[in-house]
Amino acid sequence: MENTIVIFGASGDLTSRKLIPALYELKRKGRLPDGARIVGTSRTEFSHAAWRETLAQSTAEFVGQRFDRKVWDELAPSIFYQPGDMDSPESFPKLGDFLAELEAGRATTRVYYLSTAPRFYEAAARGLGAAGMAAETDGPRRIVIEKPFGTDLDSARALNRVVHETCAEHQVYRIDHYLGKETVSNILALRFANTIFEPVWNRNYIDHVQITAAESVTIGHRAGFYESAGVLRDMFQNHLLQLFTLTAMEAPARLDADAVRDEKVKVLRAVRPMRPEDVGRDTIRGQYRTYRDEPNVDPRSQTATFGAVKLSVDNWRWQGVPFYLRSLKASSCRTTQIVIQFRQPPHMMFESDARPFDANRLVLQIQPAEGIQIHFMTKVPDSGMKLRMTDLDFSFRDQYAGGMPEAYQRLLLDVLNGDASLFARSDEVELAWGIIDPIQRVWESSSAPPLAFYAEGDWGPAVSSQWMAGQGRAWFDLCPVLH
Ligand code: BG6
């Protein structure tokens, strides 16, 4: 079977920064199927040669030292460009003819990657459908849809409906690039390929779970998108809820796309819906102090760049164990981490300097210091029975040579191979919006919790720490050291 990857939005940022570098890396590692074609399409006019040269330059910039001109010269002849406008229905049959000519009647897996502005997703699905380009008569046809998948539950449902008019669910690959990160897949390995963690992975041993995505970046020039998105739509509905489901789900019977996604869906269904009157108690919203000075940001903007949300999961495993999800921009520390905070021992006969909440902790460092730490008490030598918290520290970089591949390499390869495990299913996306929407609605209303400001470099507003302290807990705000 041959392969053609068609990239809509070919002149955009994602294509040059992520998709082409990922395809180049796959080629360099010998993992891109032989003869795979890459066809770009967007409104900009390029000849094949001009597009290849533009991509050679951007790829060299983004892959840095790993750029090898010889590898690129092997890849370049299989890169093509076909101008097209998604607003004009004739573009699709024209593209279809071009692809048919390239494929010359050979059975081919065709991947349509929508790397466009989200407002074009429906037009693309309709255009492909109307031109008969999604029919699987000459080989599999798959459509990859970038985030954001809708801006709320209604728009996500509407988009699913339009996409399903053209494609069956097995043809649809909704991207959440967090799922392509090695450390995110490793959550499943840690939980279900070991025997020592799963027996304690429940309400009997765990006090609470913290999932944090702290970013040092600010909004920069993304106000056009961010002002209407804010942290809940940008980070919670997708990335944080994905980390949450992998942490909280039951073990799937098999590692196949539907078995894994069925379990994720079950956890999302078990999340207690947030009532409007709960939002003030169970969420914190914040904004970094200089946000309103960013280009094109409303000087009175209410958009949250910090969010903390306490989720309750109504099932046997997690009853009474809160999951605290938190994300912020403009932190001094870039870290995505999951902290499993275990309970105190039932009876403490030792004296300890540790604060009451310093019980055992398992920290999964998702990025950038990819690793795992177990925090546990030890006896301080030569000082009576004094105890201190110490840790076992595992680092991927120390154990495995070669570094962490970019998420898009794995995801693109999985699409070509027809493995949808690391992509969001339609019900999963809708359930995730169903959790976020009630919070977002209150945050956008007159009964929103106060917007708390924080200085750039902080871990969020002071009220966030006070909120945790009020529940007898504390955020684990330790910036991991990069070795
Ligand atoms: C994107 C968000 O989906 O994820 C960005 O739109 C965010 O706002 C980014 O910065 C974070 O991704 P990563 O891989 O850098 O953690």
Ligand 1 atom at shortest distance from the alpha carbon of 238: 3
Q: Which of 175, 239, 410 to mutate to test the pocket of ligand 1 (most atoms within 8 A of CB)?
A: 239
Select from 17, 62, 149, 177 the residue to mutate for testing ligand 1; criterion: most ligand atoms less than 8 Å from CB: 177
How close is the Cα of 150 to the center of ligand 1, in Å? 17
Count of domains in the chain? 2
Mutate to test the pocket of ligand 1, among 178, 183, 294, 410 (most ligand atoms within 8 A of CB): 178
Q: Is the pLDDT of residue 277 over 90?
A: yes
Instruction: Please indicate, yes or no, if residue 154 is contained in any of the structural domains.
Output: no
pLDDT at 352 over 70: no
Q: How close is the Cα of 360 to the center of ligand 1, in Å?
A: 30
Q: Is residue 161 part of a domain?
A: no
Ligand 1 centre to CA of 447 (Å) is: 29
Position in ligand 1 atom list of the atom nearest CA 178: 14
What is the percentage of the chain residues whose pLDDT exceeds 90? 93
User: CA 186, 190, 191, 194 torsion: positive or negative?
Assistant: positive
Is 152 part of any domain? no
Mean pLDDT of 223-243: 97
Substitution candidate for ligand 1 out of 215, 334, 337 with most atoms within 8 A of CB: 215
The confidence score (pLDDT) of residue 304 equals: 98
| Band of residue 354 on the pLDDT scale cut at 50, 70, 90 | low
pLDDT tens digits along 119-165: 999 999 999 999 999 999 999 999 999 999 999 999 999 999 999 99
Q: 475 in a domain, yes or no?
A: no
- Cα atoms in the Cβ-side hemisphere of radius 13 Å centred on 328: 32
Task: Return the amino acid letter for 392.
Answer: L
245 C-alpha to ligand 1 centroid (Å): 18
**Among 213-217, 286-290, 399-403, which is the least confidently predicted range?**
399-403
Task: Give yes or no: residues 125 and 193 share one domain.
Answer: no
CA triplet 30, 36, 41: central angle to 5 degrees? 130
Structural domain for 94, as ranges: 2-146
- Whether residues 136 and 248 share a domain: the answer is no
pLDDT band at 288 (very low <50, low <70, confident <90, very high): very high
Q: What is the pLDDT of residue 482?
A: 78
Cβ contacts of 287 within 8 Å, gap of 6 or more = 301, 302, 303, 304, 305, 306, 451, 452, 453, 454
Looking at the fold, whether 298 and 226 belong to one and the same domain comes out as: yes
Segment 178-195, tens digit of pLDDT: 999 999 999 999 999 999
Q: Are residues 97 and 186 in the same domain?
A: no
Give DSSP secondary structure letters for 455-469: -TBSSS-HHHHHHHH
Ligand 1 atom closest to Cα of residue 222: 8
Banded pLDDT at 477 (limits 50, 70, 90): very high
Does residue 379 share a domain with residue 230?
Answer: yes
How far is ligand 1, taken at its centre, from the CA of residue 234, in Å?
A: 8
Mean pLDDT of the chain: 95
Under a CB-based contact definition with an 8 Å cutoff, are residues 84 and 91 in contact? yes
Which atom of ligand 1 is closest in space to residue 213's alpha carbon? 16
Q: Is 411 among the domain residues?
A: no
Give 66's DSSP letter.
G
Which pLDDT band holds residue 393 (cuts at 50, 70, 90)? Answer: very high
**Residue whose CA is closest, atom 2 of ligand 1?**
234
Q: Ligand 1 centroid vs 178 CA: distance in angstroms? A: 9
Cα(453) to centroid(ligand 1), Å: 21
Residue-level pLDDT at 348: 82
What residue owns the CA closest to ligand 1's atom 6? 234
The Cα 109–Cα 356 span in angstroms is 57
* pLDDT level of residue 356 (50, 70, 90 thresholds): low
Do 99 and 227 belong together in one domain? no
- Do 339 and 449 lie in one domain? The reply is yes
- Model pLDDT, residue 357: 58
Domain boundary, last residue among 146, 170, 190: 146
Residues 348 and 448 occupy one common structural domain: yes
At residue 312, the pLDDT reads 98
Position 362 scores a pLDDT of 98
**CA–CA gap between residue 447 and residue 443 (Å, rounded):** 7
d(C-alpha 301, C-alpha 283), whole Å: 19
Q: Which atom of ligand 1 is nearest to the CA of 229?
A: 6
Question: Which residues does ligand 1 sit against, CB inside 6 Å?
Answer: 147, 177, 215, 217, 234, 336
- The answer to whether position 476 is within a domain reads no
Ligand 1 centroid to Cα of residue 375, in Å, is 28
DSSP code string of 132-149? TTT--SSS-EEEEEPSP-
Q: What is the pLDDT of residue 35?
A: 86
Is residue 27 in some structural domain?
yes
Residue 347 has pLDDT above 90, yes or no: no
Q: Which atom of ligand 1 is nearest to the CA of 147?
A: 3
383, 371 in Cβ contact below 8 A?
Answer: no
Q: Which protein residue has the closest C-alpha to ligand 1 atom 13?
A: 178
Q: For residue 16, what are the contacts with CB-CB under 8 A and spacing of at least 6?
A: 54, 55, 58, 59, 62
Other C-beta atoms closer than 10 Å to the C-beta of 254 total 8
pLDDT > 90? residue 328: yes
Q: Which residue has the tokens 């360099």?
A: 28
The pLDDT value recorded for residue 358 is: 77
Q: 243 CA to middle of ligand 1, Å?
A: 14
239 counts as catalytic:
yes
Furthest CA-CA distance within the chain:
82
Give the atom of ligand 1 at the shortest distance from the alpha carbon of 226. Answer: 8
Q: Choosing from 239, 347, 375, 483, which is the catalytic residue?
A: 239
User: Has residue 349 got a pLDDT over 70?
Assistant: yes
Angle CA(442)–CA(177)–CA(111) in degrees, nearest 5? Answer: 120
Question: Which of 94, 122, 146 corresponds to the end of one domain?
Answer: 146
Residue at which a domain ends, from 102, 121, 146: 146
Backbone angles phi, psi at 324, to 5 degrees: -100, 120
Nearest CA to ligand 1 atom 15: 215
Q: What pLDDT digit, counting tens, does each position of 419-442 carry? A: 999 999 999 999 999 999 999 999
Tell me: pLDDT of 174 over 70: yes
Six token digits for residue 378: 């030890």
Classify residue 415: in a domain, yes or no. no
Residues 183 and 139 in one domain: no
What CATH number does the domain containing 324 carry? 3.30.360.10
**pLDDT band for position 386 (cuts 50, 70, 90):** confident
Sheet holding 141-145, edge to edge: 79-81, 37-41, 2-8, 108-114, 141-145, 172-174
